[in-house]
Amino acid sequence: MFTVQIPLASWRAEPLAASCDCRGRGGCPHILAAFDAALRWLHGPGTPDRARFAEALGTPDWTRVLRKFDEGLARLETRDGAGE
């Protein structure tokens, strides 16, 4: 069994680059198969996981940062009792 990784952290700024641990010479068929499976999943019937993934891809980075910042502030207020 092989593991294919497709990092999505910088997909807006850089082309997608995948890696496979098969170390195949002359190209790796597993990477192409992984991209094909991901595209079929994205264009397949709606599921809760697919909807969350599509939302995450469509959310700008700055929005995610502000959400995390807001969540952190809320935890601090709850912990310190500052929200009273």
3-state percent helix, strand, coil for the chain, nearest multiple of 5: 55, 5, 40
Q: How confident is the model at residue 82 (pLDDT cuts 50, 70, 90)?
A: low
Domain ranges of the chain: 1-44, 47-84
pTM: 0.58
Between CA 1 and CA 32 the distance in angstroms is 15
Query: pLDDT, tens digit, for every residue of 45-79?
Result: 777 888 888 787 788 888 888 999 999 999 888 87
Q: Please name the residues in contact with 76: beta carbons below 8 A apart, sequence gap of 6 or more.
A: 82
Between CA 5 and CA 62 the distance in angstroms is 25
